[in-house]
Chains A and B, each alone.
Chain A
Amino acid sequence: MPSPLPPAFSAWFASRGWSARPHQLALLEEARAGRSTLLVAPTGAGKTLAGFLPSLVELTERGSEREGLHTLYISPLKALAVDIARNLDMPIAEMGLPIKVETRTGDTSAAKRTRQMERPPDILLTTPEQLALLVSHRDAEPFFASLRRIVLDELHALVTSKRGDLLSLDLARLRTLAPQVSAVGLSATVREPADLQRFLGGTQTPAGLVTVTGGAKPRIGILQTASRLPLAGHTTGHAMGEIYKAIGRHKLTLVFVNTRMQAEFAFQALWSINDDNLPIALHHGSLDVAQRRKVEAAMAAGKLKAVVCTATLDLGIDWGDVDLVVNIGAPKGASRLMQRIGRSNHRMDEPSQALLVPSNRFELLECKAALDAVAEAAQDTAEPRIGALDVLAQHVLGVACSDGFQAGALYEEVRTASPYAGLTRADFDAVVNFVATGGYALRSYERFAKLRQDKAGLWRASHARVIQQYRMNVGTIVESTMLKVRLGRARAAKPGQPSRITSGGRMLGEIEEYFAETMTPGDTFVFAGEVLRFEGISGNEAICSRAPPGTDPKIPSYNGGKFPLSTFLAARVRAMLANPREWAALPEEVSSWLHAQRLKSRLPKPGELLVETFPRGGKFYLVAYPFEGRLAHQTLGMLLTRRLERGRMRPLGFVCNDYGIAVWGLGDMTAAIAGGRLSLAELFAQDMLGDDLEAWLAESALMKRTFRSCAVIAGLIERRFPGQEKSGRQVTMSTDLVYDVLRRHEPEHVLLKAARADAATGLLDIQRLGQMLTRISGHIVHQPLDHVSPLSVSVMLEIGREAVYGEAADEILAEAEAMLIEEAMA
């Protein structure tokens, strides 16, 4: 059989002692037939080369005549695009191929962008946001006319967010602009490849599938700590010595944690025992960019022994020869764990090494569940998304900025994007109206329209300013308002006067505004590896000073996990709890904890929801264990306290974690349940997602945050840039006002519809709560107790760590007011 590879390629493979792998040749064949293909392969299988091989071969066969852009590569990370460019340079240079590769990111100069539009490279590497800008360009049609191939990297990571929605719409556009184009998607193992195939090829022509199996099984262990595993908490302080030893035994260790604060804590703790002065660095999204680049360079140069990092290093850039991955805390999802583990030993034939370090007993159960899942190669990839309407609004404006559109034709095109397959014409028209004039029932903005129809019925941007606005606002990532952390001091002032803050020191990085809000001047916290004393906020900056050496940081609030426990892992943990035979595989202290629970209270059977009630310290507690993740529990807590309030149980507050929720109040819930005055079935009835939810959404800060993000993405509110606007906080304020007004006057508006859809799966996780309420309906078991149960301790210990929810605004204000009166009476 003749080789499908041109001689130069065969020679190149041979010169390196390689031969083309079967999946690489399979992709070549699919591409030659003009078919889109999804490649699912483990790390180290040569995915990138497989993705580009058809383009390289075609460009080589075409020879040196320039025909414009041939291949477009899209990656979720700017840095990954740059990394790939470097990797492509090698075969191209060694084979002497006549191929020009360039990147186009936010960092590309205006001159280079202009030049790229006029004389495109053969292969352009870019990100989804830059693609959106290209597609909305007035010359998009000629620019993409020659496009043959699209390569989408880390596709599994791209499709789970609004970025994926935007990307799907731009792919649909590209299929119109370049009908001959075919796409290659590169993905880690996923549960439902069919979803990705539809995303990649479009609903009309789903992509084919090439799967690479095998690869060495990862070697994963759970740290068997010599010290006692805590009942609660997230710092994993007990295991730092053991982690440090593991670092010492390996070349380069990545220590993954779930939040920035855990990263700071772990970094601090490791350095406090770093007797050998190992080069251990810190990497998280809030650190100054220059600082992060330095760490990445040091990793690549082999100068580091370990890096403590957050999700910022989840995705596939190879910064160095990592041979151990440590995951601190619970993995939260089996797929995320696989992704992280894949960071070590980036060769397919060598096993990855990983160590899981649970920080408490519940997390140990979760680690065990994740381990079993990984062993079975089970995945917990999220359900395919239903395309967000705010993203569609952004896209519609983008298309209007390029060549304009016929509504009917664009509607059909949009529906080929798999997230939008079910989009109704009514919703599409509502979105077009929203973009054109705000889409309000009161049609008072016609004269200011951003889109107008020309005589041929083509919708176009009405004004150059509209195009400019669009280009400033493109993208779906809305950062929470960040404050710069700067060194400075508070000057002592006369008593009763606010102290003056002087800044002007070094900038250390950024923190979320809501985190700064929880602090009072004088609080100490760890940031950028130092203990800082919070002095106050000045403008957009959190001013901090260095705390004296030896200061114990007081971390006021553990900021949960960014990712809630996946549904899939939760089900496994519930099953494990219900089955004592599985406990033998657990460490002794965990299994005896569960035995004690069975003895003193009870353990829920599969499908049951256990609710315990007991008195403690003059208050009455209700603790439930839905295992549905922190976000869904938080929403549940808000709704439960409303209902308990109505049931005259006088609830005072609640806390929750990923596993359970504890509500307390002044009313004796055990007695009320026994006396038939309180029904748990009614308390947890599904109708809480009706009026109670609506009433809560009216005032929920989380809902307002969700709305704000939709408003920014949809282009209602302009994105603010540093220095351009006084302060992001005033923006927050004004979108809250807009939310209130819109909700009252036009509750069915398309933007509220978008925000509600987000709330269902996002910060409020209502969808999951709904599924849980259905699941437990008729299966609630109540256990009245005299005191705290072993299981409940782990939830109760969150009190004091987590913010307490449940009070209405007026109660909080009344409490603040009372503080004044108390003082006056004293």
Chain B
Amino acid sequence: MTLVAGSWLAQSGTVQTQGSTPAFMLGRLALVPDLSGALWLPDERTLVVADLHLEKGSAYAARGVFLPPYDSAATLAALAAAILRHAPARVIALGDSFHDIHAESRIAPGNLATLRQLQQGRDWLWITGNHDREIGPAMGGETVAGIEISGVALRHEPDRDEAGFEIAGHLHPAAKVRMRGRALRRRCFALSPRRCIMPAMGAYAGGLNLRDAAFRPLFLEGLSAHLLGDGRLFRIDERLLLAD
């Protein structure tokens, strides 16, 4: 059993453990952050992923910036690995799954086939985001603006006026720490007792530093950062986080 000690989590007594992986509670909903950047909801057998930004590479290429055309394949491979690990009954993509509304016209047939295959035998929910307000039927799944699970709202863009509990994406949180003269910047989950902002999963999705003003109104009571390391997640005290 791993003991997760620390300020608000320990005090508020919301720590549970799930096998060897710590789980966190948002109200009644248990969350397990995954090293891939996905979020596993064990009680719901649901895998949540955020900001896949599929076809971002080809969107740049259309403007004459020829980024390597492997981002969609890489993102789908990460997604497939997470699905294989958890065998979810349902996958929820938290918006900005596609970099733009024309992604459908550019996605390689092989990648589309991979995506459709991942959808086999499970529910698949696309929540729309600011990059993908429309998602064509060719992409499979069901498209919604948001959904509520066990009293927790799942939406693309965090709502600072949310009085209840919320899981959102959109901001691509990343955190920077420095130890022994070396700075590291990694994607991360930003967690508080009421809110979870998920890291972007897309291979070409950049990160916004947790110190950015955009996070402040969302975490007035503080936050804990869970950084995606190479071998596991690392929970870093808010006071150690640096601005860029």
Contacts and interface: CB of A to CB of B under 8 A. Distances in A.
A290 interface: no
A596 interface: no
Interface string B171-187: 00010011111111110
A435 to B, nearest CB: 9
B229 to A, nearest CB: 5
Contacts of A439: 66
Interface in B5-19: 5-7, 10
A814 B234 contact: yes
Contacts of A738: 67-68, 204
Nearest to B182: A812
A820 B178 CA distance: 14
Decide if the interface of chain B is mainly helix, strand, loop or mixed.
loop
A13 interface: no
A745 B232 CA distance: 24
Interface stretch (B57-65, B116-124, B134-142, B150-158): B57-65
Interface string A435-451: 00111101011001010
A733 B180 contact: no
Contacts of B62: 448
Contacts, number: 147
Contacts of B237: 816, 819-820, 823
A733 B208 CA distance: 10
Nearest to A734: B206
A814 B240 CA distance: 13
Interface stretch (A15-23, A45-53, A363-371, A803-811): A803-811
Contact of A536 (B179, B204, B235, B243): B243
B162 to A, nearest CB: 21
A438 B62 CA distance: 12
Contacts of B69: 438, 440, 442, 444-445
A745 B5 contact: no
Given A438-B68, A810-B230, A812-B184, A825 B5 contact: yes
Nearest to B67: A738
Given A737-B204, A741-B68, A817-B234, A824 B74 contact: no
B211 A440 contact: no
A223 B177 CA distance: 44
A805 B67 CA distance: 31
Given A445-B66, A741-B68, A742-B68, A653 B180 contact: yes
Given A716-B67, A737-B203, A746-B70, A498 B211 contact: yes
Contacts of A730: 206
A812 B180 contact: yes
A186 to B, nearest CB: 39
A493 to B, nearest CB: 11
A745 B108 CA distance: 16
B185 A466 contact: no
B180 to A, nearest CB: 5
A396 B64 CA distance: 16
Contacts of A807: 179-180, 182
Interface string B48-88: 00000000001001101111111101100000000000000
Nearest to B177: A816
B6 A820 contact: yes
Interface string B212-244: 000000000010000101111011110110011
Contacts of A741: 68, 70-71, 74, 203-204
A65 interface: no
A517 interface: yes
A517 B222 contact: no
Given A810-B231, A820-B237, A745 B66 contact: no
A469 interface: yes
Nearest to A556: B181
Contacts of A737: 203-206
A444 B58 contact: yes
B226 to A, nearest CB: 10
B207 interface: yes
Interface in B29-59: 58
A360 to B, nearest CB: 21
A765 B70 CA distance: 30
Given A537-B243, A741-B204, A803-B182, A438 B66 contact: yes
A518 interface: yes
Contact of B68 (A745, A814, A820): A745
B2 to A, nearest CB: 11
A51 to B, nearest CB: 41
Interface string A403-442: 0000000000000000000000000000000100111101
Given A816-B177, A824-B5, A448 B61 contact: yes
A245 interface: no
A330 to B, nearest CB: 24
Contacts of A448: 61-62, 64, 66
Contacts of A733: 174, 185, 206-207
B180 A804 contact: yes
Contacts of A112: none
Identify the interface centre among A442, A469, A742: most chain B CB within 10 Å of its CB.
A442
A813 B184 contact: yes
A460 to B, nearest CB: 15
Contacts of B235: 817, 820
A171 to B, nearest CB: 28
Contacts of B183: 517-518
A445 B207 CA distance: 26
Nearest to B58: A444
A33 B204 CA distance: 58
Contacts of A805: 182
A266 B89 CA distance: 67
B55 to A, nearest CB: 11
B133 to A, nearest CB: 23
Nearest to A448: B61
A825 B7 CA distance: 11
A418 to B, nearest CB: 30
Contacts of B204: 734, 737-738, 741
A24 to B, nearest CB: 50
A504 B7 CA distance: 36
Given A537-B243, A745-B73, A821-B5, A469 B68 contact: no
B177 to A, nearest CB: 5
A729 interface: yes
A718 interface: yes
Given A749-B68, A813-B186, A819 B230 contact: no
A744 interface: yes
Contacts of A809: 184, 186, 229-230
Interface in A605-663: 653
A535 B67 CA distance: 37
Nearest to A751: B68
A717 B63 CA distance: 12
Nearest to A557: B181
Contact of A444 (B64, B108, B203): B108
A746 B74 CA distance: 12
19 contacts: A440-B66, A440-B70, A444-B61, A444-B69, A448-B62, A448-B66, A496-B239, A727-B244, A734-B204, A737-B204, A740-B203, A741-B74, A745-B74, A749-B68, A807-B182, A809-B184, A810-B230, A824-B6, A824-B7
Given A440-B68, A813-B186, A819-B240, 19 more contacts: A438-B66, A440-B69, A444-B69, A445-B58, A450-B64, A450-B66, A518-B183, A537-B243, A716-B66, A717-B65, A733-B206, A742-B68, A804-B181, A809-B186, A809-B229, A812-B177, A814-B229, A816-B237, A820-B236
Q: Nearest 7 CB-CB pairs, A to B?
A: A438-B66, A803-B181, A824-B5, A745-B70, A820-B237, A813-B234, A742-B68
